[in-house]
Structure 1
C-alpha cells in the first residue's frame, strides 16, 4: 500500500513523520508503528522503519557501495551478507553502473535513489518518505515514481508526503489529509471521495441541443441535477446520479430515445486536488511542512 500524506504549509506532515520515526517525541498522546510505541519501544520502531527526510543528505566523500556498506554496518548486518545485499539494492534503484562512483559525482536524482536504497538495507516493513520528489527534474521524477510503484508491488508499505498531488494520485492507494495538526480524513481514496460526494457525476458530449437533452431527463429516477455547458465545444451536460450502473444505463437510453446525439458519456474523475480542496474547504495549499 502507498499512503499519501497531504497538507498545507505548517499542517504537521514533517512533524508527524519525525514522531513516527522516533526523531521527535510526542508532547502528548500515543503513536505506534507495527505495534511498537514510538516512546517506549524506539529501537523496535527503528528496525521497522526506513526514513528518507526531505533533506535526504548523503556522504559525498564515499563511493556508492561504501555509503551503503557504512549504513549496513550500523544496522549490524553481518559482513558476509553485505556485498550481495548492496549489489541487489543498487540494481533495484538502477545504480549498478555507479557502484564505484563517488557520491559527489551523482545527479540529484541518483542521490535520491541511493538514499532510498539506504532506507531499505534492513528490510523495513514501512518506508516513510518526506517530499521525495522535491527538487528533481521531470525525468528523475518519473524514475522515482516507477521505483516506488515497484516497491509497492514488492509488498512494501510506503508513507509519502508531497506537494505535487498529481504525482501522488498515480501512486497512492490510501491518503491522509492533515491541517493544523488535525487529521481531517484518512482511508482509501474511493471511500473518502464517496464520503464527501456520495453521488457520481457523468459528463456527456453532444452534437445536439443540450437544453433538449436536459428536458428529456426530467423526472427520471436517480437524476439529481443536470447542468448545461453550452459554451463548450462540443456542447456538454453534466449529470449528478445517485443510482447504480443500471440507473446510469437508463439515463443514456433516455438521452438517445429523446433524440440526443451523444459522442461521449463517462464518469467524471475527481483527483486528489479535488478531494483536498473539498475537505479543507479551499484553504491555501503548497510546499513542505
Structure 2
C-alpha cells in the first residue's frame, strides 16, 4: 500500500470533521484531554507500525508509553510531533490536529527524541538561545525564558561550557531545556532516561513530575518500568503496533492480577497450618520453609483477612504476613509476548 496515498486519505477524511471558522482558520477543540490519538494507523509497505491506536492523556498528567523495541512507540510519538503523517486516523495536541494544523501543534509541543543532534562548537547558552529565536521569542521574553529554563534544568552553572564537554546526563538536561524553551503545553519524551546514571534518573524523574504539577501534559516512553510506575498517572502497553492495555498502573494491575503470592510466618506447627490451608479453594502451590508458608492466593483483600482469621481461630500463631502484588514489570511480561515486527 502506498504511504503517500494513505496520508492524503487521512487528510481528506479528517479535514471535513475538524472545526473551522468561516475564514478557514482552525477552532481550538476545548477538552481536558491535552493529547488524543483517534484510531491512528501508520503503515510502511506491509509493515503495520501503528494499528488502530486510540488513547488520551488529561491535562497535567504523565502518561507512560511502554513496549519492546519496534512496538510502535517512536512512530506514534513522531506523528504527534508532526514529523510523520498517519496513514489513517488523526492525533490532537492541545486541541489541534497534527494533520490539518501542524504549525499550531508545534507551537504547543516540546519533543525530546531518543537521539538528537547537538552542535559541538557552541556553548549551552548559545544552543538554547538559537532555539528560542527559532520559536520566535524576542527581547525580554527570550531572556526570561532562557534564565528560567537553565535554572530549572540545572544548566545555569555551565552556560559558557561547550556542548562537546558535557556528560550524557547534562546533555539530556540541555535537550530537555531545548524542548521547554517556548513553554509548550505538551511534552513528548522518547527514552529520556536511556544511559543515565541512577542519580541523573532520579533528578530527571523529579523534573518531569514538577512539569506535570505546573500543568504540562507529558508523554514519556521508557524501558525502566519501575520508574514509570512511580512517575506516571497512567500507562499504555503497546506491542506490534497494537495497544494491549491502557489505564492507571493500579487499574491495569488489578485487571491482570489473577493471584498474588502470600507468605505467612507461623511460630509453631507450620506444616499443620499448610495442611489447613490446602483445603481452601483459593490457595495453591503451598511451600513450607521453616516457619514460612508460601502459596499463591486468588482471593481479594477481604478473603485474605478471612484466611488469617481462620488460621488464628484454629490455634496457629500468625506472626507475619506478606503479600506480593504484581509489579508493572510483572504485568508487562504477562500482557506482552515479546513479539517484534
The TM-score range, normalised by the shorter chain, is: 0.7 to 0.9
Say if 2:65 and 2:237, in contact at 8 Å, map to a contact too.
Answer: yes
Aligned equivalents of 2:319 and 2:103: distance in 1?
A: 60
Contact map agreement 1:216 1:254 (CA 8 A) in 2: no
Aligned length: 281
Gaps of 5+ in 2: 1-60
Q: Deviations over 1:49-74 (max 9, x none)?
A: 11100003322322212211111111
Instruction: Considering Cα pairs closer than 8 Å and 6+ residues apart, tell me whether 1 or 2 has the greater RCO.
Output: 1
TM-score normalised by the chain length of structure 1 = 0.87
Secondary structure class of the residue paired with 2:246: strand
SS of the residue corresponding to residue 202 of structure 2 reads helix
Which residue is 2:173 aligned to?
113
| Structure-2 residue corresponding to 1:196 | 256
Conserved in 1, the CA contact under 8 Å of 2:168 and 2:196? yes
Of 120-129 and 149-158, the range deviating more from structure 2: 149-158
Q: State the shift of 1:137 in Å.
A: 2.5
Give the equivalent residue in structure 2 for 1:63.
123
Segments of structure 1 that go 5 or more residues without pairing to the other structure are none
SS at 2:119 equivalent: coil
Other-structure match for 1:75: 135
Length-normalised TM-score, structure 2: 0.75
**Alpha-carbon contact 1:217-1:254 (below 8 Å) kept:** no
Aligned to 1:283: 338
Task: Describe the superposition over 1:86-145 as per-residue Cα deviations: whole angstroms up to 9, x where unpaired.
Answer: 111111111221122222221110010011011111222221111111122333223222
2:255 & 2:301 partners in 1: Cα distance? 16
The 3 A distance-change label for structure 1 pair 131 and 249 is same
User: For the Cα contact (< 8 Å) 1:56–1:112, is it kept in 2?
Assistant: no
Please provide the CA RMSD for this pair. Answer: 2.4
2:258 is aligned with 1:258: no
Q: Distance in 2 between matches of 1:170 and 1:206?
A: 33
Deviation of residue 213 (structure 1)? Answer: 2.5
1:3 matched to 2:68? The reply is no
- Higher normalized strand content (fraction of residues): 2
Shift of 1:243: 3.8
